[in-house]
Structure 1
Amino acid sequence: MKRAYLDWNATAPLRPEAREAMVAAMDVVGNPSSVHAEGRAAKALLERARGQVASAMGADGADVVFVSGATEAAALACAGRGLQGAGIEHDALDAWIDPVLPVDPEGRVTVQDPAQTVLQAANSETGVIQNLPQGLALTDATQAFGKIPFAFNWSGADMAVVSAHKLGGPKGVGALVMRRGTDLAAQLRGGGQEMGRRAGTENLIGIAGFAAAAEAAARDLADGVWSEVEKLRNILENAVAADAKETIFVGKGAARLPNTSCFAVPGWKGETQVMQMDLAGFAISAGSACSSGKVRASRVLQAMGYDEAAAQGAIRVSLGPETTEDEVMRFAESWLRHHEKHRARAA
């Protein structure tokens, strides 16, 4: 049986538009920092891509700094700032913040001092969408960009981090978007590329793919593609809830990304479910993570107030525009069969 990819929040399949743009960029021989004709051609491609990403993000008039991904963008934005946040932020941001802000049981954060706060636009594990206050220091738009309406200019944030591969671009490229005039200390120093904010010759091939993917993602959103994905997500959750009534659907009472379902069965380890579903032909993620052979409960769910049994029993199913109803129903049927076996063993 054909495998079903249901892990779009981890990475989205490469869009054909991105692939085409990358292949074309491979023939652009010049270095964007060179002043000869070949260099000017490369520079023109770079700046065209910068404009494409800015337009897709609703960031006209802002600065787009190309980096290797959202993790580097987070480091560039946060280093030396002493910012605060909540315990639900992605590891790339959590490494730089003091996680002191309260989180309610639906995953919503109470912001106390926006100018000193990092706040994600949407959570990668639960899909919960945050209300972004004006004057926010930084938002992680990695999961929101391309899935829900998001414009940097009305987000209220001074800076935002994004990653190309979450919206169908290549891996290894992303951007820090920032309001002009925002103070920033370069972490990679050298040749002065990216307006002096990030040294190193730009990854022109990856950036071209990023720009093409951003434009395609914006078109999909405008065309209502993700509304159809949300219908599939709801079909999945209804099927699971009908036969596995003890299942906890995390964040279901809050606004969520249209493609994301995080649900837990306390006592049934998330990593066990991931392996069982993988063998059955379905790619999903666990709400818990394995590190050096040690299993730990999802700190996101724990920050929301869930106990360890629930936090260890969570999985995330994230859909995309290519997901079909047949795939969703096959997954639900397979998961429910394994759930029945788990329930019998636990009896």
Structure 2
Amino acid sequence: MAGRTAYTYLDYAASAPLRDEARAAMEAYDAQPWAGANPNSLHTTGRRAARALDGARRELAAAAGGGFRPAEVTFTSGGTESNNLAVIGLAEGARARAARRRRVVLSAIEHDSVLDLAGPLRARGFEVGLVRPDRDGVVAPDELDAALGDDCALVSVMAANNETGVLQPTGALARVAHAHGALFHTDAVQALGHVPLDLAEADAVSVAAHKLGGPVGVGALLVRGRAPLRPQSFGGGQEGGRRAGTQDVRGALAFAAVARALAASLDETRALVSGRARALAERLCAPGTGIVATVGAGVERLPGIVSVMVPALDSETLILALDQEGFEVSAASACSSGSLDASHVLLAMGIPRDEALGSLRISFDERVGEDDLARFSDTLIRIVAERSGARRP
């Protein structure tokens, strides 16, 4: 990224480069006489910071849609904190309303910041169930319906998968959850700013700035005022008592500025990036390349994520080879303690482990041009051809 102009960065789903709108918003904040003021202070400078923070809430609520009110926007440190607060806080709130609601249902393809809450939830006395997607990574409403009963407190299914880019039918899933009396949360960290969101029936939505070109370290949880959210941090009563700690006004303003800009150009940008992604996928997965797509061509996905597998090679080998050639991508597989493990998302979709070990995620937005993508595809195809003779053990 910054300072490495010889490299083509294609890992926007991990963190997108800072946009001009975010940089301008932070520079404008820095120039204010109230920059650095605590927005919870009662004096004039504090009130000015509070007004700016409230403006950021209005802009973010409008950009997300779904009928959320500005007062229902809780700023956090990012997507992980938002997911933790939503899943544990809503589950505890629902159980407090009705003691029988002691079960939480998650999709098997959630980000680790949701799936890793299974243990803490069980420690708090909840049962945790998983609902699996179909082969293309879509969680079907019928499957969710079959997994629910009147003991369910909360359902959490992401709006778009961070590895495959597959979009979920969040509106239909929320209606299924509500039919069983459960609350519905969706992790929209990857989706905000890239596709229109179906949030009208969601009780809570997690978002983060750095996935769309805002600064790292700021996110938000949009949660309906009627939802029984239990706070998970204490010591100040900020954010309407939902999240303690002095707010990052500078980051919130930058987040709101980017969200507003992307919302204004959403249709045009989505069409442009989708076209580039389709062309890239078709070129990579052409017959004879040794590269295959993880999901079908007709599955609705985020515009800027191309998910492929190289069954003859492993992700680590491919990433390091690409890095030497000046291209930065990531894998759906995870390397832990020196051993490569297959993606839980791809395994949940029914993809064989041997194939999933060779997964790659290429992610970008409109700032990556067609020429860069063409050079990348030529390079990856060449690397696969050169190295596929030496199959992994």
Q: Would you say same fold, with TM above 0.5?
A: yes
Native 8 Å contact 1:14 1:169 kept in 2:
yes
**Where in structure 2 are there 5+ consecutive unaligned residues?**
92-102, 119-127
Alignment partner, residue 48 of structure 1: 55
Alignment partner, residue 70 of structure 1: 79
Tell me the distance in 2 between the aligned counterparts of 1:35 and 1:282: 50
| Alpha-carbon spacing, 1:326–1:344, altered in 2? closer, same or farther (3 Å) | same
1:28-73 deviations in Å (ceiling 9; x for gaps): 2421111111011000011000111001011444300000001001
Alignment partner, residue 191 of structure 1: 236
1:151-195 deviations in Å (ceiling 9; x for gaps): 53x2x2100100110111100010000111111111111110000
Note the 1:51-200 alignment, pairs <5 A. Answer: 51-62=58-69, 63-79=72-88, 81=91, 82-97=103-118, 98-109=128-139, 110-112=143-145, 113=148, 116-132=154-170, 133=173, 134=175, 135=178, 137-152=184-199, 154=200, 156-200=201-245
Note the 1:160-309 alignment, pairs <5 A. Answer: 160-222=205-267, 224-252=268-296, 253-309=298-354
Deviates more, 1:73-82 or 1:84-93: 73-82
Tell me the distance in 1 between the aligned counterparts of 2:207 and 2:387: 39
Tell me the distance in 2 between the aligned counterparts of 1:244 and 1:262: 18
| Alpha-carbon spacing, 1:243–1:337, altered in 2? closer, same or farther (3 Å) | farther
Native 8 Å contact 2:289 2:381 kept in 1:
no
Native 8 Å contact 1:288 1:297 kept in 2:
yes
Q: For this pair of structures, how many residues does the alignment match?
A: 344
Tell me the distance in 1 between the aligned counterparts of 2:12 and 2:36: 33
Q: Aligned-pair distance for 1:99?
A: 5.0
Partner SS, residue 20 of structure 1: helix
Tell me the distance in 2 between the aligned counterparts of 1:104 and 1:58: 28
Partner SS, residue 147 of structure 1: coil
* Alignment pair present for 1:333 and 2:363: no
Which amino acid letter does the alignment assign opposite residue 87 of structure 2? C
Which amino acid letter does the alignment assign opposite residue 260 of structure 1? I
Q: Aligned-pair distance for 1:241?
A: 2.0
Native 8 Å contact 2:109 2:132 kept in 1:
no
Partner SS, residue 211 of structure 2: helix
Determine which of 3, 14, 19 is the counterpart of 1:10.
14
For the aligned residues, what is the CA RMSD? 1.8
Native 8 Å contact 1:61 1:180 kept in 2:
no
Native 8 Å contact 2:313 2:391 kept in 1:
no
Native 8 Å contact 2:289 2:385 kept in 1:
no
Tell me the distance in 2 between the aligned counterparts of 1:72 and 1:240: 36
Identical residues among aligned pairs (%): 39
| Alpha-carbon spacing, 1:58–1:115, altered in 2? closer, same or farther (3 Å) | farther
| Alpha-carbon spacing, 1:29–1:299, altered in 2? closer, same or farther (3 Å) | closer
Tell me the distance in 1 between the aligned counterparts of 2:184 and 2:322: 40
Tell me the distance in 1 between the aligned counterparts of 2:68 and 2:374: 45
Tell me the distance in 1 between the aligned counterparts of 2:165 and 2:83: 20
Tell me the distance in 2 between the aligned counterparts of 1:162 and 1:194: 16
Q: Aligned-pair distance for 1:298?
A: 0.7
Moved over 4 A (4+): none
Q: Aligned-pair distance for 1:308?
A: 1.0
